[in-house]
Chain A
Amino acid sequence: MRFLGKAAGGLYLLLLYLFVAGPLLFVIATSFNPATSFPAPFEGLTLSWYAAILRRPEFLSAAGTSAVVAALAAALAVVVAFLAAYALSRNGSSSARGAMATLLASPLLVPQVVISLAILQLASAWGVGTGFWGLVAAHAVYVMPFALRLLLTGLARFDFAVEEASRSLGGGWLSTWREVTLPLLRPSIVAGFTFCFILSFVNLPLSLFLTSPDTATLPIVMFAYIESRIDPMIAAVASVIVLAAGTATILLDRFLHVRLVD
């Protein structure tokens, strides 16, 4: 009976993993398939779809735009989230901390297309263009709660007495930050930044109303591309993104012992 129970549990887990990772594996496999349509039976192995990406300048420039937007949005989100998390952890009671964290996480509860639309409306009501910074703002608002969660977790393990120890030993605000606070919270900060960067980089709905041809992000260009035709090149683009994000996640786990997924 015990054995059967264990076997059933194992099978359940295996199916779950397959369900989650299956589409991913399919996409990666497709990117090596020479067939020109998608999906199609496997006809062999080729790297030509990866080479094809390099011949499409709009993909490369969109990747550049996405990277810049993601970096700025992640930086903005981490700064805002850090200040909020620090203040909450230091001063708040645990119930206040919970309530504020929920409030700050509220962008998660709004459909992302609506955030995008709301920023567009707000900008036009104020009579300013949304432009590049509207895009960055939308991404920052959306990813901030993720950074907040990671930083609150990191700060829960932080003993604020070490800051006082530093100050009693003659450390000013800046030295205390540089010598004590930052080194101890760096793993959470780096993890928060990386996580936000990835989330922003792959996000489509936030950008829907906020991009122009000059500020098209990679998901927007991919979306436009598959509207006209579907071939495995899009799978190759996706595989590159998965590879980069996966590598970043593994590096974080290995070197900073921070897990993005528990």
Chain B
Amino acid sequence: MPELILSHVTRRFSGHTAVDDFSLTVRDGEFVCLLGPSGCGKTTTLRIIAGFERADAGRLTLDGADITHAPPQQRDIGLVFQSYALFPHKTVAENIGFGLKMRGRPRAAIAAAVEEALALVRLEGLGGRYPRALSGGQQQRVALARALAIRPRLLLMDEPLSNLDAQLREEMRNEIRRIQKSLGITAVLVTHDQAEALAMADRIAVMAKGRLQQMADPATIYEAPATAFVSGFIGQANVLEGRVESTGAEAVLALPGGVTLAGRGDGLAAGAATRAMVKHERMALCRAEPAQLANRFPCQVAERTYLGGSIAYRCEAAGMTLTALLPNHPLFESFAPGDTAWIGWAATDCAFFPC
């Protein structure tokens, strides 16, 4: 079964560690997104998996076989480049058939596989064109078809959608997932776009400064972030700093102004500097006191930002500046700058992370 395991992979570039003790398991048929900010080592990790970058330490296994030192051409890994890297002097059909030609397949078999791959990416009839005569979206599909035509054990994609416009990007997200599912292929997609990762992945591996922060399904990543980095990187959060007053199932954090917050967190120690994080859309803003919420404060609306599908309110409450994101729907109250209101959030939505 094609299962990819990275164990303790490390890569250093002249003193700076691009990938740091990185371990990851991608299960058979799974679609994993490697998500992280620019420069965190995503591309380097992908290139180590593909064999274009060596690992200074650690091991890679694919399908149970050690591939740490295998040259790229022997790995049977399909790769979709950010720039597509189509062969400009070859036709679409020649591009797609290239991998099979390298494998010495007979001409007729290659032609049949090319037709099949073209149909898979819905580019029937374009086999005779040259890449420069295709739109960006079509080139993207050719790059995907070329990587898939060799029936790789693993499909790797480095920011494949970043050169497409917003609408095409949404369409290709669904296309890539449809194709990946229909072939049952194991895939790793690198992106710095959290919406893309949340929408596409079976599981997301969040990476920061070369290290794996958390590996989980999208809902867990979003709702139960394991580190302050993940919490701050995925979605938008209010961040408040204070010291732990008491620990337990429901911990209490004391802020400098004397305000206390109820929340949850692991590895907390009484008196330790700690950060509370609450996602903007988990904040309630209402005229009546929300008695069921453990954290609630009278507040004044300072700023209202209309976002179309939602409305963001920046509020001042007990020395805190908090942002609440409310759906733009008649069931939710509407406020204007200067209004007084109540702002609140549940203890379960208030995550504590030691600083």
Bound CA–CA A161/B86 (angstroms): 9
B81 close to A169 (CB less than 8 A) = no
Q: With A164-B52, A184-B89 as known contacts, state yes or no: A170 contacts B102, CB within 8 Å.
A: yes
- B89–A169 contact, CB under 8 A? no
Residue from A161, A162, A167, A183 in contact with B72 in the complex, judged by beta carbons closer than 8 Å: A167
Query: By the criterion CB–CB under 8 Å, are B103 and A170 in contact?
Result: yes
Residue of B with least CB distance to A169:
B99
Contacting pair B87 A162 (CB below 8 A) = yes
| Pick from B51, B75, B76, B85: contact of A165, CB under 8 Å | B85
Q: A218-244, CB under 8 A of B: which get 1 and which 0?
A: 000000000000000000000000000
Q: Which of A150-166 contact B (CB under 8 A)?
A: 159, 161-162, 164-166
Is there a chain B Cβ closer than 8 Å to A175's Cβ? Answer: yes
Task: Quote the shortest CB–CB distance from B67 to chain A (angstroms).
Answer: 13
Interchain CA distance A180-B76 in the complex, whole Å:
19
| Residues of B within 8 A of A (CB-CB), count | 26
Q: Does B19 contact A (CB under 8 A)?
A: no
Chain A nearest Cβ from B215, distance in angstroms:
25
Q: B328 at the A/B interface (Cβ < 8 Å)?
A: no
Distance between Cα atoms of A180 and B146 in the complex (Å): 15
Residue in contact with B73 in the complex, picked from A161, A162, A171, CB distance below 8 Å: A171
Confirm or deny: B276 has a beta carbon within 8 angstroms of a beta carbon on chain A: no
Chain A contacts for B99, CB-based, 8 A: 169-170
* A168/B73 in contact, CB under 8 A: yes
Q: B150 interface residue, CB < 8 Å from A? A: yes
Known A164-B81, A165-B81; contact A171-B102, beta-carbon cutoff 8 A: yes
Chain A residues with CB under 8 Å of B89's CB are 183-184
Pull 25 A–B residue pairs with CB atoms less than 8 Å apart, ordered by A: A159-B83, A162-B85, A162-B86, A164-B72, A164-B79, A165-B79, A165-B81, A166-B87, A166-B98, A167-B51, A167-B72, A167-B73, A168-B51, A168-B52, A168-B72, A168-B73, A168-B147, A169-B99, A169-B146, A170-B73, A170-B74, A170-B102, A171-B73, A171-B102, A180-B87
Are A164 and B102 in contact, CB atoms less than 8 angstroms apart? no
Chain A: interface secondary structure?
helix
A166 to chain B, nearest CB (A): 7
Least CB distance, A106 to chain B, in whole angstroms: 29
The A-contacting residues of B in range 30-73, CB under 8 angstroms, are 50-52, 71-73
Specify which chain B residues have a CB less than 8 angstroms from the CB of A162 in the assembled complex. 85-88
Instruction: Please tell me if the beta carbons of B78 and A168 are within 8 angstroms of each other in the complex.
Output: yes
Chain A residues contacting B161 (CB-CB under 8 Å) are none
A179 interface residue (CB < 8 Å to B): yes
- Residues of B whose CB lies within 8 Å of any CB of A are 50-52, 71-79, 81, 83, 85-89, 98-99, 102-103, 146-147, 150
Taking a contact as CB atoms under 8 Å apart, the answer to whether A169 and B98 are in contact is yes
CB contacts (< 8 Å) of B147 on chain A: these are 168-169
CA distance A179 to B88 in the complex (A): 12
Are A175 and B79 in contact, CB atoms less than 8 angstroms apart? no
**Residues B102 and A168 in contact, CB atoms below 8 Å apart:** no
Shortest B66–chain A CB gap in Å is 19
Q: How far is the CA of A231 from the CA of B83 in the complex (A)?
A: 61
Interface centre among A165, A169, A180 (most CB of B within 10 A): A169
Q: Is A39 an interface residue (CB 8 A)?
A: no
Q: Which residues from A are CB-within-8-Å of B76?
A: 170
Q: Report Cα–Cα, A112/B321, bound state, in Å.
A: 75
| Cβ–Cβ < 8 Å partners of B52 in chain A | 164, 167-168
Nearest-CB residue, chain A, relative to B82 = A161
Nearest CB on B from A158, distance (A): 10
What residues of chain A lie closer than 8 Å to B85, measured between beta carbons?
159, 161-162, 164-165
Q: Which of A166, A170, A172, A184 has the most CB of B within 10 A?
A: A170
* Bound CA–CA A240/B89 (angstroms): 36
- CA of A167 to CA of B75 in the docked complex: distance in angstroms? 10
Closest to A162 in B: B85
Give min CB distance, B186 to chain A, whole Å.
16
The 9 closest A-B pairs by CB, nearest first: A169-B99, A161-B85, A170-B102, A168-B79, A165-B85, A167-B72, A171-B102, A167-B73, A162-B85
Q: In whole Å, how far is B16's beta carbon from the nearest beta carbon of chain A?
A: 16
